[in-house]
Amino acid sequence: MSFLAVLLSASAGVGVGYAAHRLAPPFPPLPGEVPAAAASESAAPSASAPASAEAPPTASEAAAPAPPPVKPAVCMKQLFAEGTFADEPPLDFVCEEANPMKGAARVKEAVVNAGAGRTSAGMKEWAVLGFYELAAYSVLRGRCCPAEPTIDVPASPDKCEPMADGLVKLAKAAKPGVSDDDAKTATKSYADAVKCVVRNKSTKSFGGHPSPSGGEGTIFQKTLDRARGVAPKE
């Protein structure tokens, strides 16, 4: 199925109302990650036993190696709709490519190729993101790449807040435990930057996407919620 056909099919669903936001237990921690609650519990001393009663670590415990770091591609797989990738996705380039226009195009290609002729839920989401492709790509970098997120985009019109600032805010908000309010603030910053670019007819510099109709941001929110460990709205 051509990507254009997927775009037309998925676009028909854009703008449909979604149910109220529901929080769910965070996704299982990735290998090498320790949930904040577990970390605080293990760090707090037991109220029922004095500190002196705690046994020192055994030699084998002290010598236990640290868990291996999570591979970026393994981390990114969890940020797509279930079933988008059957195996580890070929997305290691995301941590090297700081230009979200170039990077998002390659992500969409990987999503389509992973479908192997079928229309996956991931294809439907990425087919209708429009300007929010840049936001979703920044979330992938911010959540799964080891380095501080950087974004390489052209300068915004003088009257606009820099598009790069909004994208960096989203990358930093793509972490487990980030509050709903902080995530909304970062999303609004990017949305305002996009609206200003559209008003000033500078869209070609940022991929030439049409003016967002509202559904694009709703679809993008699913990627951001997965990165934060929150159940996406259905």
- 143-177: per-residue pLDDT in tens? 999 988 789 999 999 999 999 999 999 999 999 99
- Are the beta carbons of 220 and 133 closer than 8 angstroms? no
CA gap 42, 65 in Å, rounded = 18
CA–centroid distance for 203 within its chain: 23
C-alpha neighbours within 13 Å on the C-beta side of residue 164:
12
Q: Which residue has the tokens 């995301």?
A: 94
Predicted local confidence at residue 70, as pLDDT: 75
Q: Where are the domains of the chain?
A: 3-9+68-228
- 13-44: per-residue pLDDT in tens? 444 333 333 334 444 455 445 444 444 444 44
Task: Give me 218's structure tokens.
Answer: 């709703």
- Are the beta carbons of 157 and 200 closer than 8 angstroms? yes
CA distances from 20 to 12, 194, 214 (A): 21, 25, 16
DSSP string, 71-103: PHHHHHHTTS-TTS-SS--S-GGGGT---HHHH
Q: pLDDT tier at 113 (50, 70, 90 boundaries)?
A: very high
- Are the beta carbons of 70 and 30 closer than 8 angstroms? yes
